Structure formats: C-alpha cells, structure tokens
Amino acid sequence: MYKKLTVSIVIPAYNEQKLIKDTILGVPKYVDKIIVVDDGSTDKTASIVKELKRKNRKIELIQHKVNKGLGSAIVTGYKKSIRGGYDAAVVVGGDNQMDLKELPTFLEPIVNDEADYVKGNRFLNKSYKIMPFARLLGNIMLSITEKPATGYWKIFDTHDGYTVINKKALEHVDWDSAWKGYAYNVDFLARLNIAKMRVKDVPRRAIYLPGERQSQIKILRYIIMAMPLIIRTFLWRIKEKYLKW
C-alpha cells in the first residue's frame, strides 16, 4: 500500500527470460500485487516467474497460450486488477527498462487526485538525449501525430509504457474492445479521452542496459504499422465524442 492506496503492478512479458527476474525483484515492497502476464513466451520466462512466485506470494502469473499482443497482455492485467479492487494499476515492461524507484512520482498525482492516468515522459528531464537517433525521431513523429488522435494536446512521448491508472479510469473504459497489439497507447489514450479522464505526464529516465537489446520494436516498421491505427483512432474518437447524441 502506498499512502492508503492499494497498488497492483502489471508486467507484460514476451520472451523476457534474461530480464524478467530483475524487473520483478525491483518492484517496491509497498506494491500489493505483482501480476505478470506471460504473452505466449517460448523461452523460460514463465518458469522463472514460477520460481520467484514460490518465494513471494504477491506474484501472480497469468499465461496466454499464444502470443496475443502487448495491448492484450496489459488488458489481461487490468482486468485482474479490477477484479482485485486495487486503487491503482501500474504498468511496466518485463525488460527492466523502467526504474521502479521512480514509481512514487507516478503515484503522487493519483494520491492527490490530480490525474486518472499518469504516464512517463522522457522529454521532461532530457532523458531523450540518450535515445538512439532513429528511436528519438520516431518517438517525436508519433507523439506529434497522435495528439489529434488521442485528444490530449499537452502530453508527449505518447508511446512510453511506464504508466499508472486509477480505479475510476479502469472501470470506465471498455477494455474488451481496446486495441490488443503494439501501438496500443494511442487507442488507450483515445478511450480515456472519450471517458473524460485526466492524463498527466511525469518525468522519467530512459534506461538502456549495456549489451542488452531490451526493446523488441523495429522503429520504422512500428511507424508504418501505427499510422493506419492512428488515423482510424482519430476518426473513431471524433465520432464517439462529438457525433453521437
């Protein structure tokens, strides 16, 4: 519990046998539930989590029989958090790329009722300077393009996956119809906008471990894949928010 706030953490993982242990061991003690969603991994990710689970009752492993996509893994974790009645659900990747020592920065806006959804922004503390150039350029392009799609004009670094959502927002979004693959971020944010949820950016540092290729995203392919979704999301949000009576 963090300042009377019950907290779950959702860790989507796909073939993360190298880094999933360090990710889980980095979870602060005040987190009440650790939900690892193994999205059809073909390596030893699940067995590593099971071994950790024997020593830590907070850990729960949910396994998708096949790879369903990053968005789907997060939705699975969200639904588990809803059933558990947690006040806030954190999301971090299973690749140990997000510093959980920074988690209070994400939780404070929830505690103080300043936001319903808090997300990381690596541009607020100049952490973007250590990003590979292609990733930096792609991030800027997507963040600008997705502003009209999401309806949130003041946020940036839209594809940062370090987030916290409160119970109210969790329960007001139809997660069954949410986008289940990569680029889920734009869809999730548009749904939050339609539900009139407050979104806040907080600074967080980027982490790139030496010798580890943590992100499995090919940036050019990602952008090409994301563009049709961005356009579709924009049109859908306008229809749902302004053209329905």
pLDDT tens digits, residue range 144-175?
999 999 999 999 999 999 999 999 999 999 99
Q: How far apart are CA 11 and CA 69, in angstroms?
A: 13
Task: Concatenate the DSSP letters of all residues of 7-70 into one string.
Answer: EEEEEEESS-TTTHHHHHHTS-TT--EEEEEEES-SSSHHHHHHHHHTT-TTEEEEEESS---H
Please state, in angstroms and rounded to a whole number, the distance separating the CA atoms of residues 103 and 109.
11
Where does the pLDDT of residue 70 fall: very low under 50, low under 70, confident under 90, or very high at 90 and above?
very high
* E strands present in the chain: 7-13, 33-39, 59-64, 88-91, 117-121, 163-166, 199-203
pLDDT of 216 over the 70 cut: no
Residue 116 in tokens: 């319903």
Residue 75 has pLDDT above 60, yes or no: yes
| pLDDT score of 219 more than 80 | no
Q: What are phi and psi of 209, to 5 degrees?
A: -75, 135
Query: Domains in the chain and their CATH numbers?
Result: 7-242 (3.90.550.10)
